[in-house]
Amino acid sequence: MTTVLFICIENSCRSQMAEAIFNHLAPKGMRSISAGSRPAKEVKPLASGALKEIGIDADALSPKLLTREMAEHADRIITMGCPEACPVVGKPMEDWGIEDPSGGDIEEYRKTREIITRKVERLLEVLESEKTGGNQHEEDINSEPIGR
């Protein structure tokens, strides 16, 4: 089972969206989890709402504390724009550099959701290619401009 760990500080928005979108799109044999170094008490309602708009049930999502064990068992570790939030585990990490939409309106959350969706789709292509011995490169995931 290939496991991807998405991390942000509060685990209340971007990493939760990435986990939910990845698990919604992933083929059998792949899964994701998310966590935060200082998890909030709940997932931001606008993040849940943005996921529900695209048919992803966000009711079961809840912020989780990042543990060393989570990181050690992950095949990929991706931070959402806060690489300092991850403990040092001797594994490569990738930062997607996605701005936090907190404080914005639903439109900001939708934009963030779409950026995350495109990056997750590219990540899944890379992971599938790696499984089949293809030559898709990791850099392709971050080749799209982050700007809105």
Catalytic positions: 8, 82, 86
Instruction: Report yes or no: 90 and 72 within 8 Å, Cβ to Cβ.
Output: no
Structure tokens at 120: 């997750």
Angle between helices 106-131 and 45-52 (to 10 degrees): 60
18 vs 11: CA distance, rounded Å: 10
Spatial neighbors of 27 by CB under 8 A, at least 6 apart, are 124, 128
Of the candidates 123, 147, 148, 145, the residue with the CA atom closest to the CA atom of residue 136: 123
DSSP state of 54: T
Distance from the Cα of residue 77 to its chain's centroid = 9
Instruction: Report yes or no: 133 and 34 within 8 Å, Cβ to Cβ.
Output: no
